[in-house]
Structure 1
Amino acid sequence: MSDTPSITLYRLQACPYCERVVRKLQDYDVEYESRFVEAMHADRNVVKRISGKRTVPAIVDENTGVTMSESANIVAYLDRVYGEEAA
């Protein structure tokens, strides 16, 4: 893998949905960079700019050009692109 993370993960501290995505990234040994965002939903302008929503988790995958939010969607994407389904 490259020294530069290809995925940026926008997340909150102690968010169970965010941790679900982190576990999946770690399971597949995918390099990523965490960006912790504001706890107040209304203050998550950075997330809104990149994904169109203020919800977390959200990812930007530089390898594929994909930006998405919602943990279930992200986990399914990671399975498809980096996991067993990719093999």
Structure 2
Amino acid sequence: MAEITFYELPGCPFCAKVRSKLEELDLEYDSIEVPRAHGEREQVKEVSGQTGVPVLTDEAHGVEGMPESSDIVEYLEETYGSGAA
């Protein structure tokens, strides 16, 4: 099991943006496809407090339920990409 978990919905352009960054950085991650209906997204609500996607968790760095594609992409770049120390 990977330390990064990515909650996504197929066809979601914001999710595709995050998935592209994960793949660009060659990161291992588990993908969890959430239901289309917001009311059925209990699993993502438990980790993030909301039902929107994308959401990312990263056990290696204590990130639990980060929402917002731009924030996730920035985090991944700073943590694993060229911004990493």
Report TM bin, short chain.
over 0.9
Structure 2 spans left out of the alignment, 5+ residues: none
**Distance of 1:69 and 1:47 partners within structure 2:** 10
Instruction: Tell me which residue corresponds to 2:50.
Output: 53
Q: Deviations over 1:22-46 (max 9, x none)?
A: 0000111110010001101121111
Secondary structure, aligned partner of 2:47: helix
Instruction: Tell me which residue corresponds to 2:26.
Output: 29
Question: How far has the Cα of 1:14 moved from its partner?
Answer: 1.3
Instruction: Tell me which residue corresponds to 2:5.
Output: 8
Question: How far has the Cα of 1:47 moved from its partner?
Answer: 0.6
Instruction: Tell me which residue corresponds to 2:82.
Output: 84
Stretches of 4+ aligned residues off by more than 6 angstroms:
none
Q: Give the aligned CA root-mean-square deviation in angstroms.
A: 0.9
Length-normalised TM-score, structure 2: 0.93
Does structure 1 residue 20 correspond to structure 2 residue 9? Answer: no
Number of matched pairs: 84
**Distance of 1:22 and 1:33 partners within structure 2:** 11
Q: Which amino acid aligns with 2:71?
A: N
